[in-house]
Amino acid sequence: MEFKKMSWVLAFVGFMFLGGICKANGHTHYYDFVLTESNFTRLCETKSILTVNGTLPGPTITVRKGDTAYVNVHNQGSYGLTLHWHGVKQPRNPWYDGPENVTQCPIQAGSNFTYWIIFSTEEGTLWLHAHSDWTRATVYGTIVILPALNTTYPFTTPDAEETMVLGSWYKGDVNEIIENALATGGDPKVSDAFTINGEPGDLFKCSSGNYLISLLQKTK
């Protein structure tokens, strides 16, 4: 019996040791996210929205496969919320995944919380967003995960790279829209415009962003 107990202990220690080795291979990054109300003008109207660091979309987290990031979130808004790292597996680290009232309580207004994000096998572009009601309509950004050092993506290196984030714009308050839908049992009001990197296209009034998207086919 004592031998079996010792075997389990050695196995556990070995498991943690290997985990530490894997983590040590990557780099550690630190970010500060300040959630605050900011005025934005879209569709010829100005309104206050909750943003990350006063931008729409929010900041981009750039890491490499195998890296770790710590994101200190300062909630200077008027209500509690959480952030979620969409598509990041977070192995053995569910308490920093972000689903509100599932793996953590909301970050209350006037407080802060530091997320520990482990990038294990992910590569490519993912996104981050608020995980509280419809706050994700304005609190979102991108996560760019580059290949590990001395490795490459499994395709030819492109001539250039540009990150595009698709979103929706609501003239009304997004939290009031969902609260009204829940109270009446009806469908929420649809968005007033779609956006690319926070800007409506030129089919909408008072737009300032013009985008030309071309799909290119590789020639042999």
- Res 206: pLDDT: 82
d(CA 50, CA 158): 35
pLDDT for the residue 142:
97
Question: Do 191 and 30 contact (CB within 8 A), yes or no?
Answer: no
CATH superfamily of domain region 25-152: Cupredoxins -  blue copper proteins (2.60.40.420)
Residues of the chain scoring pLDDT < 70 = 1-25, 209-220
| pLDDT score recorded for residue 147 | 92
- DSSP one-letter code for 139: S
Q: Are 61 and 31 in contact (CB under 8 A)?
A: yes
CB atoms within 10 A of CB 217: 4
pLDDT tens column, 111-123: 999 999 999 999 9
What are 168-210's pLDDT values in tens digits? 999 999 889 988 998 999 888 899 999 999 999 888 888 775 5
C-alpha to C-alpha distance for 70 and 65, rounded to whole angstroms: 15
User: Could you tell me the two tokens for 208?
Assistant: 């300032």
The reply to whether the predicted model has a pTM over 0.85 is no
Give me the pLDDT at residue 205, please. Answer: 84
**Predicted pLDDT at 26:** 86
pLDDT of residue 155: 84
Residue 120, token pair as written in the block: 């294990």
